[in-house]
Structure 1
């Protein structure tokens, strides 16, 4: 087996370079058995992946990855990339052979358009053009750099540092070398200003409107050229993209209309039916903005012109300072090599050995795309714009980050980032905390340190909690928890929080909510993740409150169908179809039924048990990418991301192993159409990386990893903090996917999951794999990955004593569902032996304490009923001794405070009287 060693060192470019220094490889012979490294992993990255439609357009951002192929370093502020004349989110459509410009900023994989600010365009003979033709045969892209030669012979080469870029424009002989820069143009409506110096261009571009919302931002730029301009002026634009140059003008302001379609992605926009409709491929010419400069150069002695460009979200002076600090006058080739070294350091933290070339290309391309965002927003001096519009300063030695596709990346992208670079991840968590502190709430989808309100849920607190779980602890976790807790009662952060906080779900008949059932589930995940964060920092009161709220998913379980369904304010169930999108978001009810990733045990019990669940999962995965109106999986979008791993909780880890490998090898490729949906700032790609490793961070806010099987025979994960995880899986391949045995640090294991402690300290996994399944391995219920519920870890059994020293009693010791629960003299019989179960229920005689008909009204009778996982069977002990039924907000009560034996218990407004005071087994 080939095992190559990889070392790299980043070019020293001064303190502001923000390039990763490579870690030295261990000396020959020092690596433990199975440990591998990889030489130049950047060679396997194909940045074209995702630039062409790879699946049907289901209306959620198109069927492409919406990536871009240009120059960027990890988490860079600058993403200098070509934009084709045919627009696709990300700016580049692979099938179009016309480049309209090279803009300085991009977002990778979003389902709406933004950025694309300040396009540079080299031209010939002082004539602006709408676009120039090229061939992919004359184009190259690699991590950190990009190059293309137009059909007219003009060549552009780009490379990047974190906050700046460098370009070489090589002009053919016999032509005047010219360049346009348009400060008033972006993918969306924009305005801008540009000033021309003797050898500099500077100014700003302002844009926004992501997904049709009102976000705005301003990007400042400063460009320094290696020679003075031979002529310069402002373009008088023509509609066809051409124009004449007014050499008497040295500055200008201007505006332009956007070209990015903006489908509505907020409740408000959907109700107003705003947004510009369709998701991709408009193709129309655009005139210059009026703030477009054209400069020309004397290339008699040297036909290659070098431009150095810095950007800033603070000021043009900041842009210039960023460029100087990060480039330090280094030559183009040096900066390009340094960018590649930075990528190699980070990509090389996961070294794979074996597999096919295509598999390695899919893997490292996905890892590359997963590490493009979030983007640095602070300058080299630490200054950045806060959510409140004030200029703030990051902690010394730390970077502030922006561009959080919250609804997407909270699922596994930030966990991957924290696995590989906990220190940087902590800066990202602090950036989240700072966003909330300066805004007064947490937005869902933030761009350039501004909120958009796009999508649903409360994902940013989950991001920070998950980073903390994976070891990124150097941030103000307590402050973030305070802001998140306060913000949970703010409509800007949590639309529909009123009913969620009182009756435990957002009703289907509530107004102003996009996806009542989906949003309820999103809030429960956020509450669970925050409960874990609170526990880690010792805030037990917050932990308990949040953990109880995380059980609100039970209020949407219909015990008749065993599905999560929308529910009206009166607790009735509207008409329902598993394939409906109504009350869900970019997915169907069938796809959202599985979205309780932190408590599959409770969910599966409510769905009828493991056997029933396994059959439903098999039906679900009969199709892997059925779209949002399907009863099958939709792995081209995020709500289905975690579901393949759910089999492990139902005692069928071999089915997880199969589905994960089928999805990985069947939906993804190393070609431009190699993604089945939007990359969503790295989430889709992060899923690919986790799938190839054969592990997944299922529970938000925690660091356990659920296992499938590795795609590669050998893998070494270096966490960047000294911990190392080695995977040894001889014979692993696309077909050899089934686990027959596993050892963890040399000890045999039948658990299809890894503990948080293993992830923290590292260790070695050794697999025995086969092409045939082993249904027995990992199938024992006690081997299932952990689920987290609201009841005690150790159930207690005994009497529930109440008013008059009497006990809660099952009438006649009957086990029939519907039997009354009453007050009676305590007698120690089985009819009075209640167990406080881990799922928040109270159980006697094998059944649960239940509210008749799931009523939420005063006087509703309490009875014994088959345990069904619904909110009608949740009873939470409170400090005053009462037992709260959360969906009703009412307490277990003795009618009229009667002490007469045979008095049937009921629901009633919580009032703190003796009629509601109970002693529960502990």
Structure 2
């Protein structure tokens, strides 16, 4: 563990000394979020890349002091684990369920051993920058460096003298699916596919990933392996490195199975560098090869590494920050880096991609087809932020979502590589589409999108997204029943979706839907129990659920009415009607008292999406805005830092990182669809947002803060374009058109 800590301190020293070349990619620390269940990874990837090359170190090893992961894990890498078994090439960042983490390449030395329980090694001297990761494989004295393009990965292994091996393991990973196929194409090339899916244990969400692996070396021995138990007393005529792995040293045609792999062995000279190329596709093996050839031919490792770094640098330059500490800048740009990991490019270089919920192969021209839409998480922060910072990308994401409807009949909810996983509650696609449209990003098939929104809201039988919709449409709430414990959290998500449907209906001139959807969005009042001043599950006959405990649900206890949270963690999650909730609670003072109790008594959970807007809600109670400034800064300092445990929980494909970006800039969209940002005091002295001029017709937004010390977090004065401004909300339109916000800050709220 000492070597790991030294390596991490070296990384921080590197970041601190280069901080200030002012190239934002030098300020990214990819190790942030790799412990404390942040579920991020430090591996090589480019923005929205299909491929990421990541050290895989979560394989359990009984009795191994270097492996601390002997339980369920949703990410391929955990910082405090030291035992690794290879580099994966398809991965998810920040998610709460395991999947992908597959196509594992591992270099070794010495006699060939293909047993994953035996060939692992400790690692040291880890380094990571955007687009590149490197480490030392201690057991083998191998230096491993990896980089990536959009659809391919490249590894460079520096070997000591002696026998060397490169293993391709298709039998392990994070996916809940098993099964793979491999075929030797030539002396140094393998092709095949691996089955992925069952994300969050949904048996429907299954898909293949196709690959081509090419070793840039000649004169190698190669073969396959397959897991197979030996029967007691049986005679066998194959060679084996253990009791369970059968080696195929002569057979070199094709092999299929659940725990299979291939190896390449050769005699290395001291310091010999061998590169391994991996191309990936979700369409076909031929496309995987085409992707690899198109993105790596005639490029060296160093050129690909530099291209990846430059790509990140260009994307991160959209926001320029000045002031704050070095750690503040690293936290900010790492959050922006995490924002751009998902959704992912799905189409191959020839434009082909797998259609949503079918076996069809379609083609997209002159735009990107995206996948991995964790919409329950991302509708709150990621997509509104993408609309501001990267509106061209956001438009393509919405086009992808609408195309998914055209292909499958439904908008996505939690889509992964063309399959719907049905994870979490609500109807979040409606929120993303309406919010994007209202921000002026209308260059998509709006008519079809609205058609899809109406289908989601109004279909009663066989509704793919809103199950048991008949009762909800009639009564405007979801009843608690004995075997259904997420009724309130499901309804709360539908209220936000219906609020956005109402807004969209208004824009489309559909006044009847506008009125009905808005009325449904206020159904949360049915759950409000004045005895607790909280939301409480309600049965089908309209009575409150008996045995209610408002703190039940902490630490993933079984909970009635709420998904992965307590009533306290959901009762303020009515972002579209905060003033109405305030009236339900008995007015402004009681609302503030109840909200303040949530923070004071540790009833708030920063890692739980419904809670994320809580610190900003004091702005709705005039005279208490200082509490928002206090709580936002407290959350930044308490839950975020420049270290592996620097996220409060699962990043959820960039959702927690997007919260940090907004909060450090001093603006926040409490309710997507509502075009008002609420204001808080920024961390930095100056933030310059470089706008997409083709879409917003403006060059930049500048947010400035005048302060005497870092303790000055309380707003004394706000000016917009040097004119006094006495509100704590500003519309998206005004922020862009006026373009300059200045805060004068002090050290006390008075």
TM-score by length of 2: 0.87
Aligned-residue offset at 1:711: 0.5
Taking structure 1 as reference, are residues 204 and 605 closer, same or farther at Cα in structure 2, changes over 3 Å only?
Answer: same
Taking structure 1 as reference, are residues 538 and 144 closer, same or farther at Cα in structure 2, changes over 3 Å only?
Answer: farther
Match of 2:540 in 1: 569
Match of 2:413 in 1: 444
**Is residue 443–residue 492 contact of structure 1 (8 Å, CA) maintained in 2?**
no
Match of 1:89 in 2: 74
- How many angstroms apart in 2 are the aligned matches of 1:481 and 1:322? 35
**Is residue 38–residue 348 contact of structure 1 (8 Å, CA) maintained in 2?**
no
Which of the residues 93, 102, 109 maps onto 1:117? 102
Where 1:202 maps in the other structure, the secondary structure is strand
Q: Is the counterpart of residue 405 in structure 1 residue 374 in structure 2?
A: yes
Taking structure 1 as reference, are residues 512 and 486 closer, same or farther at Cα in structure 2, changes over 3 Å only?
Answer: farther
Which of the residues 329, 350, 360 maps onto 2:319? 350
Match of 1:192 in 2: 180
- How many angstroms apart in 1 are the aligned matches of 2:30 and 2:422? 30
Match of 2:43 in 1: 70
Where do 1:123-162 residues align within 5 Å? 123-125=108-110, 126-128=112-114, 130=116, 131-136=119-124, 138-151=125-138, 152-162=140-150
Where do 1:647-796 residues align within 5 Å? 647-651=618-622, 652-721=624-693, 722-731=698-707, 734-761=710-737, 763-774=739-750
Where 1:169 maps in the other structure, the secondary structure is strand
Where 1:116 maps in the other structure, the secondary structure is coil
Where do 1:113-512 residues align within 5 Å? 113-125=98-110, 126-128=112-114, 130=116, 131-136=119-124, 138-151=125-138, 152-173=140-161, 175-187=162-174, 188-196=176-184, 197-214=186-203, 215-237=205-227, 243=245, 245-256=247-258, 289-290=259-260, 292-297=261-266, 299-300=268-269, 303-488=272-457, 489=459, 490-509=462-481
Where do 1:806-885 residues align within 5 Å? none
**Is residue 721–residue 738 contact of structure 2 (8 Å, CA) maintained in 1?**
no
Aligned-residue offset at 1:304: 0.8
Match of 1:882 in 2: none
- How many angstroms apart in 2 are the aligned matches of 1:325 and 1:427? 23
Taking structure 1 as reference, are residues 496 and 550 closer, same or farther at Cα in structure 2, changes over 3 Å only?
Answer: same
Where 1:111 maps in the other structure, the secondary structure is coil
Aligned-residue offset at 1:719: 2.8
- How many angstroms apart in 1 are the aligned matches of 2:580 and 2:226? 67
- Higher RCO structure, 1 or 2 (CA under 8 Å, sep 6+): 2
Taking structure 1 as reference, are residues 611 and 38 closer, same or farther at Cα in structure 2, changes over 3 Å only?
Answer: farther
Match of 2:11 in 1: none
**Is residue 347–residue 364 contact of structure 2 (8 Å, CA) maintained in 1?**
no
Q: Is the counterpart of residue 612 in structure 1 residue 597 in structure 2?
A: no
Match of 2:238 in 1: none
Aligned-residue offset at 1:198: 2.2
Taking structure 1 as reference, are residues 471 and 200 closer, same or farther at Cα in structure 2, changes over 3 Å only?
Answer: farther
- How many angstroms apart in 1 are the aligned matches of 2:98 and 2:710? 35
Aligned-residue offset at 1:300: 4.8
Structure number with the higher helix fraction is 2
**Is residue 739–residue 768 contact of structure 1 (8 Å, CA) maintained in 2?**
yes
Which of the residues 565, 581, 584 maps onto 1:603? 581
Aligned-residue offset at 1:251: 4.1
Aligned-residue offset at 1:482: 1.1
- The alignment of Structure 1 onto Structure 2 pairs a total of residues equal to 685
**Is residue 476–residue 523 contact of structure 2 (8 Å, CA) maintained in 1?**
yes
**Is residue 383–residue 391 contact of structure 1 (8 Å, CA) maintained in 2?**
no
Which of the residues 520, 534, 537 maps onto 1:549? 520
Aligned-residue offset at 1:731: 2.5
Where 1:677 maps in the other structure, the secondary structure is coil
Aligned-residue offset at 1:560: 4.9
- How many angstroms apart in 2 are the aligned matches of 1:614 and 1:583? 24
Taking structure 1 as reference, are residues 505 and 434 closer, same or farther at Cα in structure 2, changes over 3 Å only?
Answer: same
**Is residue 661–residue 734 contact of structure 1 (8 Å, CA) maintained in 2?**
no
Which whole-Å deviations, capped at 9, do the CAs of 1:287-344 have from their partners, x for residues lacking one? xx12x00013464597111222211100011111112222342111111111111111
Aligned-residue offset at 1:733: 6.2
**Is residue 375–residue 403 contact of structure 1 (8 Å, CA) maintained in 2?**
yes
Where 1:592 maps in the other structure, the secondary structure is coil
Question: Greater shift after overlay, 358-367 or 512-521?
Answer: 512-521
- How many angstroms apart in 1 are the aligned matches of 2:588 and 2:313? 44
Aligned-residue offset at 1:193: 0.7
Match of 2:611 in 1: 640
Taking structure 1 as reference, are residues 594 and 699 closer, same or farther at Cα in structure 2, changes over 3 Å only?
Answer: same
Which whole-Å deviations, capped at 9, do the CAs of 1:399-453 have from their partners, x for residues lacking one? 1111111211111011112211101111111111122332222343221110111
Taking structure 1 as reference, are residues 332 and 703 closer, same or farther at Cα in structure 2, changes over 3 Å only?
Answer: farther
Which whole-Å deviations, capped at 9, do the CAs of 1:772-827 have from their partners, x for residues lacking one? 114xxxxxxxxxxxxxxxxxxxxxxxxxxxxxxxxxxxxxxxxxxxxxxxxxxxxx
- How many angstroms apart in 1 are the aligned matches of 2:286 and 2:438? 39
Mark the structure with the bigger radius of gyration: 1
Aligned-residue offset at 1:691: 1.1
Which whole-Å deviations, capped at 9, do the CAs of 1:735-789 have from their partners, x for residues lacking one? 2211000101121101111112124436011110011114xxxxxxxxxxxxxxx
Where 1:221 maps in the other structure, the secondary structure is strand
Where 1:105 maps in the other structure, the secondary structure is coil
**Is residue 704–residue 753 contact of structure 1 (8 Å, CA) maintained in 2?**
yes
Aligned-residue offset at 1:513: 4.1
- How many angstroms apart in 2 are the aligned matches of 1:688 and 1:761? 24
Taking structure 1 as reference, are residues 391 and 569 closer, same or farther at Cα in structure 2, changes over 3 Å only?
Answer: same
Match of 2:7 in 1: none
Taking structure 1 as reference, are residues 469 and 176 closer, same or farther at Cα in structure 2, changes over 3 Å only?
Answer: farther
Taking structure 1 as reference, are residues 552 and 512 closer, same or farther at Cα in structure 2, changes over 3 Å only?
Answer: same
Aligned-residue offset at 1:681: 0.9
**Is residue 127–residue 242 contact of structure 1 (8 Å, CA) maintained in 2?**
no
- How many angstroms apart in 2 are the aligned matches of 1:760 and 1:512? 48
Taking structure 1 as reference, are residues 394 and 524 closer, same or farther at Cα in structure 2, changes over 3 Å only?
Answer: farther
**Is residue 422–residue 471 contact of structure 1 (8 Å, CA) maintained in 2?**
no
TM-score by length of 1: 0.71
**Is residue 144–residue 159 contact of structure 1 (8 Å, CA) maintained in 2?**
yes
What is the alpha-carbon root mean square deviation over aligned residues? Answer: 2.2
Taking structure 1 as reference, are residues 563 and 732 closer, same or farther at Cα in structure 2, changes over 3 Å only?
Answer: farther
**Is residue 591–residue 634 contact of structure 1 (8 Å, CA) maintained in 2?**
yes
- How many angstroms apart in 2 are the aligned matches of 1:750 and 1:602? 23
5+ residue gaps, structure 1, are 1-36, 54-63, 257-288, 627-631, 775-922
- How many angstroms apart in 1 are the aligned matches of 2:97 and 2:359? 27
Match of 1:52 in 2: 35
Aligned-residue offset at 1:225: 2.8
Which of the residues 555, 558, 563 maps onto 1:585? 563
Match of 1:515 in 2: 486
**Is residue 711–residue 732 contact of structure 1 (8 Å, CA) maintained in 2?**
no
